[in-house]
Structure 1
């Protein structure tokens, strides 16, 4: 009997496959199509000939763990113990799955804020838990009245995604203060904070759970070098959590992957000595503004993008079709692939929204926009 009887193929796989079939410009799946930093490639080439090809320690290469600790202290003023509070994972998705598997038991409820990344719910279901999906506000900010109403004696965890995929929304200081006030009443609830786009924010700075003393003793934070360093195919992420939580996570991790790709860890460790993460937001800010400027002459309504490398648009002035049908037509008729937002909702809420990924070369964005403004 299937543990996920009603779970279809990932929308990202579906739309990318369709884009390939029709030779469409793929702005659907969230991966960069530009070259990685040449310095990263130089380090990779050199280390290929060194003795870095065997199992690493289960938690990660010690030098990389130390660099993460330095990065966390510099960026978030949080000191972490590399021996007990950080874990290298095979991408953030594996980390998220491992966390859910470690803490969610049969009957436990997990609050998920919709629209939500598609890996959360199936991970909860495989663990035997019950996903409780709560819609965000119209502007995609958290609705704490709805969250409070959803909490029961069975609520074990709430998953927060900030900066938010697919909408690009970033939580404010007030959001966090309200969140802290709410959770003071429920000390048993764990927080899984998905922060894989933490280094991609624009007008408003990203606020990490790492900076919230009232939350971090019950929180697990997921980060992604794949997103931050534009190497999504390397599948290297990491988790930060207090020791009493991390010890349980490691029990699952050791039997799931044991240790993450060795050479990737060594390369990233060395690269962290020279990379400037402040340049990541600056680069994507230019691409975001370019894409928005290119679409200004179109019928698409450009919604705010405060972080991530995604741009959500409303197409209600373009078509009356539902978003899945219109996204399909966009590929087959106009040659551009996007992701329909309804797939991120439990009930398929359709507000005629599409998500475009602007982590592409300028040439790709220009070519896509030339097609979109003709619609």
Structure 2
């Protein structure tokens, strides 16, 4: 085997490199988006999401490369005089994809030590880009960052075929690449009710009325097609009357609300300590921090009761002369009145059945517009919303 052929074999042994994107930072004013360290050993493209709306955007990128450590343990044969191996080339590049298409403008910076001066250890290539001509960024814009290093070098060897002449041989290296993406996401999570009219999934399920302080809630139908749902948060507010006591507004947040909850979770328990009317709010977050909320109204009451007053009930169709005890004329219908007879003082005095203030951050379609207790005022008389009556005929002690 000739010396030249032997050199080729040695070049294969030496042609290994590692690549690490040490730092990637997108800045706009005081806002920063940074990537984790990215190794060329990953097959997938890493992605980060942001909802920043930057101006005068700058991108700082620094990559590093190293020659394989096992090369240092390589013992060359005697005909090799010297070996210089390491990183010979590095590149950082930025591309913007909009609507699935790459914009013509790209940004690139190259670092070229060359085969005559390969960097064996701690090679770095860094640059600070200004990408303001890509602004304003649009929803689902994607900046792809590409990092690349190539290794190689040269060696001097004794050519026994040419009278022991010392010659130079260039080592052909390998190239390692890593990609990282930053995607702009300006839209929050959505519920299927916002997309289709026949959505049967409930954004939030909470009982309208309960007499237990331990309440189970659940939800379904949430999605985010760009960055994905990252977590849920539940907030509970006790509702209190506004200044003129015509409407309920959000009071203090109830401590101990569950969250943050993983995106795979679709139910939770809340605990209430005081009777009253509450707003239970579910907040869905995507990975950029965009949010969307749904709300349900809940009455917790385990102490109040229907009370009677001194005002009596009476059969208004009966004769006044008999103190409304006897009907003295034939009638098809009998009128019974119980004005001011019954009340629920807790409901009435605290306005538990009043309308609830609307909040701009909760879309109407995801607010509480259904069930026994909604955001709209519940029709009531002295805190009572329903009266049931029963009539019967008692003739000679036979009830029908």
Q: Provide the TM-score with structure 2 as the length reference.
A: 0.18
Q: Decide which structure has greater helix share.
A: 1
Which structure is larger by alpha-carbon Rg, 1 or 2?
2
Q: Provide the TM-score with structure 1 as the length reference.
A: 0.19
Using CA pairs below 8 Å that are at least 6 residues apart, which structure has the higher relative contact order? 1
